[in-house]
Amino acid sequence: NAGVTQTPKFQVLKTGQSMTLQCAQDMNHEYMSWYRQDPGMGLRLIHYSVGAGITDQGEVPNGYNVSRSTTEDFPLRLLSAAPSQTSVYFCASRSLYKAGGRETQYFGPGTRLLVL
Amino acid sequence: GESVGLHLPTLSVQEGDNSIINCAYSNSASDYFIWYKQESGKGPQFIIDIRSNMDKRQGQRVTVLLNKTVKHLSLQIAATQPGDSAVYFCAESNNDYKLSFGAGTTVTVRA
C-alpha cells in the first residue's frame, strides 16, 4: 500500500493562474478530505467527500473546487490563485465503516504552494 | 474562532522526562478527540484517540486524558525521546465528517 499520495510536492503559481493538486489513496477509503495548514495554525478543512460523486464544503471552501469521480482520486482545483492561498495542502482519507466506531484519518505528505 | 486550542505553543523537555501537552476545547457536543504528531515536512500522523465515554486511554508510551467537565484534553508522553520532537495537534469532532484542529504545540527534546 502506498497510502495517501499527493502531487506535486511543491508548486509556484502567479496570481490568477489555475492548477490542480492531485490526491490518491489505495486503501479503498470512502472518505477523503483536503486541509490547508498555515503558519501557527492548525489544519483547516477545505472540502471533503464521503464517496464517488459526493462532495461537501468544509470550513474554508472559497476559491477551491473538488470532484470525486472515483474512490481513489480526489483532486483539488484552484480556480484563480491568490496570494492568500499560499499554504501547505494536505489530503487525507479514512474508512467510514470500521467496526467499533470512527477510523482515524491517514494524511498524505502535503503540497507546498506559493502564490506570487 | 477555533473550537480547539492548545495552552502552550512550545514545550521544551529533557530527554527521558515525561511530557504533558494540553488542549482546551469549547464545543461541548464533541464526542471524539484525536492527537496527531507532525514532523517537519510531513503530514500529521495519528498517535491516539479517545471517545467522550472514556476518561483515559493508554497506548505505547502515550496516555490521553479527557476531562469533559472543564473541556480539557491532555497527552502524556513517557520517557520522552529525541524522536518525539515534533508539533502535536489535538483535534475534535462531533460527527463523522468534520475534524477541527487546534493550533499545535511544538515539542523540543533536549539531549
| pLDDT tens-place string over residues A57-109 | 999 999 999 999 999 999 999 999 999 999 999 999 998 876 555 667 899 99
Q: Which chain A residues have any C-beta within 8 angstroms of a chain B C-beta?
A: 4, 31, 33, 35, 40-45, 48, 50, 56, 58-59, 90, 92, 96, 101-102, 104-110
Task: Please name the residue of chain B whose CA is at the shortest distance from the CA of residue A30.
Answer: B97
Alpha carbons A80 and A89: distance in angstroms, whole number:
16
How many CB pairs lie under 8 A apart between chains A and B? 60
Which residues on chain B are in Cβ contact (under 8 Å) with A9?
none
Task: Please name the residue of chain A whose CA is at the shortest distance from the CA of residue B95.
Answer: A102
- CA separation, residue A36 to residues A10, A110, B63, B75, B108 (Å): 14, 9, 28, 24, 24
Q: Residue A19 contacts by C-beta under 8 Å, 6 or more apart in sequence?
A: A11, A13, A77, A78, A81
Q: Which residue has cell 527521558?
A: B16
Task: Please name the residue of chain A whose CA is at the shortest distance from the CA of residue B89.
Answer: A42
B46 close to A (CB below 8 A): yes
| pLDDT tens-place string over residues B80-91 | 999 999 999 999
Question: Percentage of chain A surpassing pLDDT 70?
Answer: 94
Question: Percentage of chain B surpassing pLDDT 90?
Answer: 78
Alpha carbons A101 and A24: distance in angstroms, whole number:
24
Q: How far is A5 from chain B (nearest CA, A)?
A: 11
Q: How far is A75 from chain B (nearest CA, A)?
A: 17
The pLDDT of residue B38? 95
The pLDDT of residue A7? 97
The pLDDT of residue B8? 66
Q: Quote the mean pLDDT of chain B.
A: 90
Contact B103 A50 (CB under 8 A): no
Question: Percentage of chain A surpassing pLDDT 90?
Answer: 84
The pLDDT of residue B97? 81
Neighbour tally for B33: CB within 10 Å? 23
State yes or no: pLDDT of B98 exceeds 70. yes
The pLDDT-based confidence of B2 (bands split at 50, 70, 90) is: very low
B4 close to A (CB below 8 A): yes
Mean pLDDT of B10-14: 94
Alpha carbons A116 and B16: distance in angstroms, whole number:
44
The pLDDT of residue B1? 31
